[in-house]
Amino acid sequence: MNNNENPNKNDIGPRVNNLDAQVKHSMLSRIVVAAILIAIVVPCFIVGDYLYFSMILIAALISCHELIKAPQSLDHRYKNIIYFFAYFMMVIMIYWIFLKNNLVNYEYLKSQGRENEFVFSLTNGFQVPQISLSASIVSIAFFFLMVIIDSKFTISEAFYFITMLFIVAMGFQCALFLRYFPFNDFASNSELIVSNGFKYWQSAELLIYVILGDCMNDAGAYFVGVLFGKHHMTPIVSPKKTWEGFAGGVFFSLISSLSFALILDACGLPLATFLDTAHWYNVLVLSLLIPLTATLGDLMFSAVKRHFGIKDFGTILKSHGGILDRLDSIIFTVVAASLLIILMAHNWGILL
């Protein structure tokens, strides 16, 4: 045999990539960080109520800080008013819906002479995510005004803040929506929604289902890409992403989320009234949507980081970057899943 000839040239099937010590350490580190995050986040998902409400608030404020930091260089620092306004607007955009729903409920009870029965609720009326139009207009006006009065604040930065604040705020509000929507979807079964089993588990299933699909896509794409990746998807935006990794992510996400939903329905715990075995096609479509939008979100945030010449949005998770680096795909996924869930809840009607 010629010494230069590859003895494995006739091998059939994918070849496993050689992993150096750094890659192996990164894989182990990702597993450890994921385990820690699961231990912190999942109890918040299950308990819900103000614990989950507060977790989203903390994550949103840290994400907002990372968004503000991303465009800044050593010789370019934003004024404090930018920080204050961005934090304030992020909170308003996410939580305005709760104030609106409760004011509507209070006015209704008041018209019935029963205002003394009013109790502030996180679940009442949360049938669709909504970003305040007034808040959006104020945000646009503020950042365009900053372009006029601050010579260092460019029009591209104004569009960056307007767009990213909206996208991230919408993502966090949709994460809240997925946790509280089941209370409205199963509202006709009054005995069910007041039970502890529903409050602490069944109402959390929809959120866990979506996050599970996203996380399995991330894990599948990473490990399959590292082991078998050969063909790059978008080397300009994300040099390490491969088509093999993408396929692995879709496969593991689809199998895990679909199995999760159907097994729970078989146990008498459907994700929603329209996400059960009788509506298997809804579950299939939603399960397929999750990895596709997760990949899109990951690439979009990667494009933002590459534009600003940064590796990560933050350092709070040490070598794994910031909160946005872990939530990039989830933000897109929960928004897309929420939109599809709303359409399904209205029998695929678009006139909502």
pLDDT band at residue 1 under the 50/70/90 scheme: very low
- Type of residue numbered 32: V
Residue pair 264/207 in contact (Cβ under 8 Å)? The answer is no
Q: What percent of the chain has pLDDT over 70?
A: 90
3-state secondary structure (DSSP) of residue 123: coil
User: Which of 27-36, 102-111, 274-283 comes out lowest in average pLDDT?
Assistant: 27-36
Residue 263 tokens read as: 């097994």
Q: Residue 229 burial (CB < 10 Å; 0-12/13-18/19+)?
A: buried
End-to-end Cα, the chain, rounded Å: 71
**For the residues of 265-330, what is the DSSP string, one character each?**
HHTT--SBTTBSGGGHHHHHHHHHHHHHHHHHHHHHHHHHHHHHT-S-S--TTGGG--HHHHHHHH
Residue pair 241/234 in contact (Cβ under 8 Å)? The answer is yes
The pair phi, psi for residue 240, each rounded to 5°, is: -90, -10
Instruction: Find where tokens 């993408």 sit.
Output: 246
Q: What is the pLDDT of residues 176-235, one digit of tens each?
A: 999 999 999 998 898 999 899 999 999 999 999 999 999 999 989 988 988 888 889 988
Q: Please state, in angstroms and rounded to a whole number, the distance separating the CA atoms of residues 84 and 81.
A: 5
Residue pair 184/127 in contact (Cβ under 8 Å)? The answer is yes
Question: Of 304, 26, 47, whose CA–CA distance to 199 is shortest?
Answer: 47
Q: Which residue has the higher pLDDT, 334 or 28?
A: 334
**72 pLDDT above the threshold of 90:** no
3-state secondary structure (DSSP) of residue 240: strand
pLDDT at position 158: 96
User: Which of 8-22, 74-88, 208-222, 318-332 comes out lowest in average pLDDT?
Assistant: 8-22
Residue pair 259/283 in contact (Cβ under 8 Å)? The answer is no
Instruction: Find where tokens 């999750």 sit.
Output: 290
pLDDT band at residue 122 under the 50/70/90 scheme: confident
Question: Of 264, 253, 266, whose CA–CA distance to 333 is shortest?
Answer: 253
The CA-based angle 97-204-281, given to 5 degrees, is 95
Rg of the chain in Å (alpha carbons): 23
Torsion angle, CA of 51/57/59/64, rounded to 10 degrees? 180
**4 pLDDT above the threshold of 50:** no
Q: Residue 66: which H helix or E strand, with range?
A: helix 49-69
Residue 336 tokens read as: 């897309």
CB atoms within 10 A of CB 239: 12
Residue 51 tokens read as: 């614990």
**2 pLDDT above the threshold of 50:** no
Q: Please state, in angstroms and rounded to a whole number, the distance separating the CA atoms of residues 325 and 311.
A: 10
Q: What is the pLDDT of residues 132-190, one digit of tens each?
A: 999 999 999 999 999 999 988 999 999 999 999 999 999 999 999 999 999 999 988 98
Q: What percent of the chain has pLDDT over 90?
A: 62
Q: Which residue has the higher pLDDT, 186 or 36?
A: 186
3-state secondary structure (DSSP) of residue 159: helix
Q: Please state, in angstroms and rounded to a whole number, the distance separating the CA atoms of residues 126 and 186.
A: 12
Cα 317 to Cα 3, 11, 37, 62, 312, distances in angstroms:
48, 41, 10, 12, 10
